[in-house]
A and B are shown apart, each in its own frame.
Chain A
Amino acid sequence: MSWDSYITSLTKSEWVDDAVILGCTPGQESVWASAPGGWLNQVTAAEVKAIIASDRSTLFANGVTLAGRKCTVLRDALNVDGQNTMDIKMKTSEKEPDPFSFTIGRSHKAIIIAKGVKDAHGGKVNPPVFDMTAYLRKSNM
Chain B
Amino acid sequence: MGAEQEINSGRSYYIDTTALHVPRAGVELISPLKNGMIEDWNAFQAIIDHIYSKHIKSEPSLHPVLMSEAPWNSRAKREKLTELIFEHYNIPAFFLCKTAVLTAFANGRATGLVLDSGATHTTAIPVHDGYVLQQGIVKSPLAGDFITMQCRELFQEMNIDTVPPYMIASKEPVREGAPPLWTKKDKLPPVTKSWHTYMCNEVIQDFQASVLQVSDSPYDEQVAAQMPTVHYEMPSGYSTDYGAERLRIPEGLFDPSNVKGLSGNTMLGVGHVVTTSIGMCDIDIRPGLYGSVIVTGGNTLLQGFTERLNRELSQKAPPSMRLKLIACNSSIERRFSSWIGGSILASLGTFQQMWISKQEYDEGGKQSVERKCP
Contacts and interface: CB of A to CB of B under 8 A. Distances in A.
A74 B354 contact: no
A35 to B, nearest CB: 21
Contacts of B372: 123-124, 126-127
Given A74-B374, A75-B374, A87-B374, A127 B368 contact: yes
Given A60-B281, A83-B370, A130-B371, A74 B128 contact: yes
Interface size class of B (residues with CB under 8 A): 20 to 34
B221 interface: no
Interface string A55-76: 0000011110000001011111
B283 A72 contact: no
B282 interface: yes
A94 interface: no
Nearest to B355: A123
Interface string B245-262: 000000000000000000
A120 to B, nearest CB: 8
Interface string A103-141: 000000000000000011111101100100000000000
Given A124-B353, A124-B354, A127-B368, A73 B282 contact: yes
29 contacts: A60-B133, A60-B135, A60-B136, A60-B282, A61-B280, A61-B282, A61-B283, A62-B283, A72-B128, A72-B285, A73-B282, A74-B131, A74-B374, A75-B374, A76-B135, A83-B370, A87-B131, A89-B129, A99-B129, A119-B350, A121-B350, A122-B131, A123-B371, A123-B372, A124-B353, A126-B374, A127-B371, A127-B372, A130-B371
A15 B133 CA distance: 23
Closest A-B pairs by Cβ, 6 of them: A123-B372, A74-B131, A127-B371, A126-B371, A60-B135, A72-B282
A74 to B, nearest CB: 5
B190 interface: no
A60 B133 CA distance: 9
Nearest to A15: B353
B134 interface: yes
Interface in B312-370: 350, 353-354, 364, 368, 370
B284 interface: yes
B373 interface: yes
Contacts, number: 63
B180 to A, nearest CB: 56
Contacts of A123: 354, 371-374
Contacts of B281: 60-61
Interface in B14-63: none
Nearest to A57: B135
B125 to A, nearest CB: 13
A70 B131 contact: no
Contacts of B354: 121, 123-124
Given A74-B133, A89-B131, A121-B353, A63 B374 contact: no
Contacts of B374: 74-75, 87, 122-123, 126
A121 B285 CA distance: 19
A75 B75 CA distance: 13
Nearest to A71: B282
